[in-house]
Amino acid sequence: MSSAKILPAVNYPVTARQVFFMVSLGATAVCCGSMNGWTAVLPRLQHNHSRFTVTDQEVAWLVSMTSLVIIVVSAVAGPLVEFLGPRLLLQLSLLLAAASWLAMAFTPLKWLLYVGRAGVSVAAAFIFSLLQPLLVEMSPPQIRGLASSLPEMFGSLGMLIAFILASFFPWHVTTTLCALPAVILFLPLLFVPESPYWLVRRNRTQDARTSLTRLRGRRDGVEEELTTLLNAPTAVQSSVKEQFVLLCKGRNLRPVLVVTSLFTLRELGGRSTILQYAVYIFQGAGVDMDPFTCTIMLGAIRVVCVCVSALVLDRVGRRPLLITSALVCGAVQGVAGVFLYLELPGASWVPLVGLLVYIGSYGLGVGTVPWVLQGELLPSPVRSVGASIVVFVNTAALFAINFVFFLVVAELGLGLTLITFGVCTLLVGGVAWRWVPETRGASLSHLETAFSTRARNKKVINDECEEKIIISQTD
């Protein structure tokens, strides 16, 4: 990595308008969270034979097919973002999600259930691919960490809402209610300006100036920021083909590989499996509580801890939260796995306590920080394509682990499965310690240099970044 100075970004005052823009964008992740949390209705769906019968194998497909769809869609998400613009594509995704939820809720045919699930997955794929970079580009520098945490925060809230609905209502009522957020959240996006980065790439300089003025809430400094955007490599690299060519350069490829590794190891650590199969896990572990209640507890703790993470992320920093969270998560998974494997006394309660601690720690770092780093570390010349690659590889791992979960548990047992998850989660901390620089307080333009040379200079960058942060906060 380079020893060049990483300068702090210009701090504009945060206004109510900016908060509205950030919340309007981040809240769209509720649809992604409800997509994942909807799987809590599957036990009820299996016991309800009024329309059709659902087997365990079909449950595995309904859980994992979302990842399979996202794998395919993420390959075209980057080009579509460049063609349509991130805000318009986000709006279209919400409309698709609403229509797909309603199709699932009212279909009398099982195959239409799969079609609706696929439609929700397509919408989620576009939201996953474009939301984080868009928030980073449009948020004020001093609250970039908080703004980047909004998707995880609202995604956790969406999952919790789905868990609660699934525990109280029939599956088709829960599915219908999942369509409401997509409809409601479409309206605020009508007032959100388009990304100035994308507008510059489309040679719409005047529109980019207008967008920056609305985003920053003032004219002072807008011309200087616009000049920086016009002189940046991203201003002339709008072609997807050119982005793939630039991706071959080490300074662009290395951050994409690092961020991809964090997401992939996180999924191999069982993050999605634990949440989406929560009811089945608690049933299999023999926990002496209603499994739906246990699942709601998981969702509630995750929401609280993600909110805490969002509030401290710009103060504590990305690396400490990510490394500490990964170590705690991995250790807890390992302990719970050992108790179940050895069938020690009290083992039925250990998975509940262990998973509650795991989800809490996960919400503090492992769940939030990788999304922040995706927006901050992916270089602007390859940001759209890089984000698509991250989502593609991440969801490939997600599909594999979700689809084979029942088979792995049948072969290894729940105890050894949790131990394996723990090892992968610990590797997240190892990757973060070795290759991830501290990014809080640094401007996006200067983060472009963070991976320009060998990783041995990472400590120099971290130290200089911390020095600039202290100066910026003092001013």
In the chain, what is the greatest distance between 2 CA atoms, to the nearest angstrom?
69
Distance CA 34, CA 185 (A): 14
Find residue 8's DSSP bridge partners. 442
290 in a structural domain: yes
- Residue range 429-437: average pLDDT? 92
Distance CA 290, CA 56 (A): 20
Residue 237 has pLDDT above 60, yes or no: no
**pLDDT classification of 104: cutoffs 50, 70, 90:** very high
- Least confident range from 23-37, 294-308, 461-475: namely 461-475
Q: Cα dihedral sign for 420, 398, 365, 304?
A: negative
b/e sequence 192-219, b meaning 16+ C-beta within 10 Å:
bbbbbbbbbbeebeebbbbbbbbbbeee
Cβ proximity of 125 and 78 under 8 Å: no
Distance CA 394, CA 368 (A): 15
What mean pLDDT value characterizes the chain? 81
- Least confident range from 68-77, 78-87, 124-133, 161-170: namely 68-77
In sequence order, the 6+-apart residues with CB closer than 8 A to the CB of 273 are 401, 402, 405, 421
Cβ proximity of 105 and 176 under 8 Å: yes
> Residue 227, exposed/middle/buried by CB under 10 A (0-12, 13-18, 19+)?
exposed
- Residue range 264-275: average pLDDT? 86
Ranked by mean pLDDT, the top range of 130-134, 410-414, 464-468 is 410-414
**pLDDT classification of 453: cutoffs 50, 70, 90:** low
10 in a structural domain: no
Closest CA to 468 of 423, 427, 437, 432: 437
239 in a structural domain: yes
- Least confident range from 25-39, 152-166, 228-242, 255-269: namely 228-242
> Residue 455, exposed/middle/buried by CB under 10 A (0-12, 13-18, 19+)?
middle
Looking at per-residue confidence, does 368 or 137 come out higher? 368
Distance CA 386, CA 282 (A): 37
76 in a structural domain: yes
Host domain of residue 110: 16-474
361 in a structural domain: yes
Q: How many domains does the chain have?
A: 1
Closest CA to 355 of 263, 274, 267: 274
Distance CA 283, CA 71 (A): 30
6 in a structural domain: no
Per-residue confidence (pLDDT) for residue 129, from 0 to 100: 79
Residue 411 has pLDDT above 80, yes or no: yes
5 in a structural domain: no
- Residue range 358-371: average pLDDT? 89
**pLDDT classification of 240: cutoffs 50, 70, 90:** low
The single residue listed with the structure tokens 């395919």 is 72
In sequence order, the 6+-apart residues with CB closer than 8 A to the CB of 167 are 40, 292, 293, 295, 296
Structure tokens at 203: 């040679």
Residue 161 has pLDDT above 90, yes or no: yes
Looking at per-residue confidence, does 285 or 357 come out higher? 357
Q: For position 211, which CATH number holds? A: 1.20.1250.20
Residue 6 has pLDDT above 80, yes or no: no
Percent of the chain clearing pLDDT 90 (strictly above): 25
- Residue range 291-301: average pLDDT? 86
Closest CA to 154 of 185, 125, 118, 175: 185
Got the DSSP string for 39-85? GGGHHHHHH--SS----HHHHHHHHHHHHHHHHHHHHHHHHHHHHH-
Q: Which pairs from 96-100 meet CB under 8 Å and 24+ separation?
A: 96/122, 96/123, 97/31, 97/35, 97/123, 97/124, 97/179, 97/182, 98/179, 98/182, 98/183, 98/186
- Residue range 144-172: average pLDDT? 88
**pLDDT classification of 233: cutoffs 50, 70, 90:** low
Per-residue confidence (pLDDT) for residue 473, from 0 to 100: 46
Residue 29: CB atoms within 10 Å: 27
7 in a structural domain: no
Residue 182 has pLDDT above 90, yes or no: yes
Residue 228 has pLDDT above 90, yes or no: no
- Cα separations in angstroms, 129 against 8, 76, 126, 386, 394: 27, 10, 5, 9, 11
Cβ proximity of 238 and 82 under 8 Å: yes
Residue 89 has pLDDT above 90, yes or no: yes
